[in-house]
């Protein structure tokens, strides 16, 4: 998406990226970036939380309107539920996961991919 945004900008179409991978998005150098320090896939708000999703959209539209220049990054106040940054520890440390829980999560992920037509039947 970052590269697409840069291309669109060269064609005169303003863009804003909502993202959670700050290092990657900023390296590519998008014109406007709204960063949320949450797990990937949740930068447009928390799951099933319309208020956080609305706030992310409003922030993106505001950044689109008032960004002072290229490569503008603004961070949301979005907080993942639970202790601060505990999701990073949990996300990146599979050794702490119970083998049965890991198998259940893997099966659930495979089922989601199958339903989306992305995995093996």
Q: What is the pLDDT along the chain (121 residues), one digit of tens a residue?
A: 888 988 998 999 999 999 998 988 888 888 999 999 888 888 899 988 999 999 999 999 999 999 877 789 999 998 888 887 777 776 656 677 778 887 887 888 788 878 877 765 5
Q: Using alpha carbons, select from 55, 47, 44, 35 the residue that is nearest to residue 81.
A: 47
Residue-level pLDDT at 84: 75
B/e letters for 38-64, b = 16+ CB within 10 Å, e = fewer, are beeebbbbbeeeeebbebbeebbeebe
Q: What is the pLDDT of residue 109?
A: 78
Residues 65 and 92 grouped into a single domain: no
At 82, is the secondary structure helix, strand, or coil? coil
Looking at the structure, do residues 87 and 73 belong to the same domain, yes or no?
no
The domain total for the chain is 2
Domain that includes residue 26, residue range: 1-80
Q: Return all residues near 116 (Cβ < 8 A) that are at least 6 apart.
A: none
Same domain for 51 and 26 = yes
pLDDT at 83: 80
Instruction: Give yes or no: residues 56 and 68 share one domain.
Output: yes
Cβ neighbour number for residue 103 with a 10 Å cutoff: 11
> What contacts 14, CB < 8 A, 6 or more positions away?
8, 31, 32, 64
Whether 39 and 92 share a structural domain:
no
């Amino acid at each position: 998406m970052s590269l697409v945004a840069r291309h669109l900008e060269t064609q005169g179409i303003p863009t804003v990226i909502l993202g959670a991978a700050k290092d990657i998005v900023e390296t590519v150098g998008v014109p406007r970036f709204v960063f949320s320090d949450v797990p990937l896939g949740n930068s447009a708000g928390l799951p099933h939380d319309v208020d956080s999703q609305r706030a992310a959209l409003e922030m993106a539209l505001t950044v689109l309107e008032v960004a002072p220049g290229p490569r503008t990054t603004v961070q949301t106040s979005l907080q993942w539920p639970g202790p601060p940054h505990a999701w990073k520890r949990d996300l990146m440390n599979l050794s702490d996961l119970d083998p049965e829980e890991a198998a259940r999560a893997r099966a659930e992920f495979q089922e989601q991919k199958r339903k989306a037509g992305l995995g093996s039947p």
